[in-house]
Amino acid sequence: MLDSERFDLAVGIIGLLSFPIVVGTIIHTQLPCTKLRELEATFAETEGLLHTSFEAGLLGPHDVASQLHTRLDMLKQDVEDARVESHCATTYAQNVKKMLTGLSRRIRSLLGEVKKLRADISTTSAHEKERLRQLRTSATCESGHGTGQQAALPAREPSLSAETGSQASSAPPGSENSISTYSVSLVPTHSEHGASEGSTGDERARS
């Protein structure tokens, strides 16, 4: 029974001693100076992300990029105002006072807007990267298809030669001699040419 009472007493003392530490830690995390450090770090990261994405051409159309830059400029001015007001509190008591008057809440709201802008920049950049990747893939496929068609065109010439050769080989025997004889018969002989000229001269004399 005595040991149990001692244990409860020790737990109570530890709780009493740790309570101010817990409360102080919670208050410290909500002070304007603490919130401002997180806001400045997040804003710097967002500004760098926007600059990098813009230089890489990953912000989509011009109106989208202009809108993102405008939002960043507006938030930059609000962050600067919050920084000046927070720096006016140089002591712990002044920071607590600024927290109670709403500065920490305003910084927390700005932090949420900066994080939303960062998310919008990342989403726009990811969509633009995917669109450019699809365009490159489509262009590569079309280029490969056109090269394949050009390579297939010369391959048809040997087939035509082969067909010609097969037609020549399938001709019946003696057809070559008959073709040669026919071509020779079409050429007029010297005697026939002279006779035709003589008959033409007689007709002219008679007329």
Instruction: Summarize pLDDT for 5-29 with one digit per residue, the tens.
Output: 777 777 778 877 777 888 888 888 9
Q: Is residue 19 part of a domain?
A: yes
Whole-number percent of the chain with pLDDT over 70? 68
Domain interval for residue 92: 9-135
Q: Which pLDDT score, from 0 to 100, does residue 27 have? A: 87
Task: Quote the pLDDT of residue 161.
Answer: 45
CA distances from 22 to 25, 67, 166, 169 (A): 5, 43, 100, 105
The closest alpha carbon to 115, from 33, 59, 49, 30, belongs to 49
The list of the chain residues with pLDDT below 50 reads 155-207
**Residue 58 belongs to a domain:** yes
Count of structural domains, the chain: 1
Q: Is residue 185 part of a domain?
A: no
Specify the pLDDT at position 22: 81
Residue 198 domain flag: no
| pTM for this predicted structure | 0.61
User: Mean pLDDT score of the chain, rounded to an integer?
Assistant: 76
Q: Is residue 189 part of a domain?
A: no
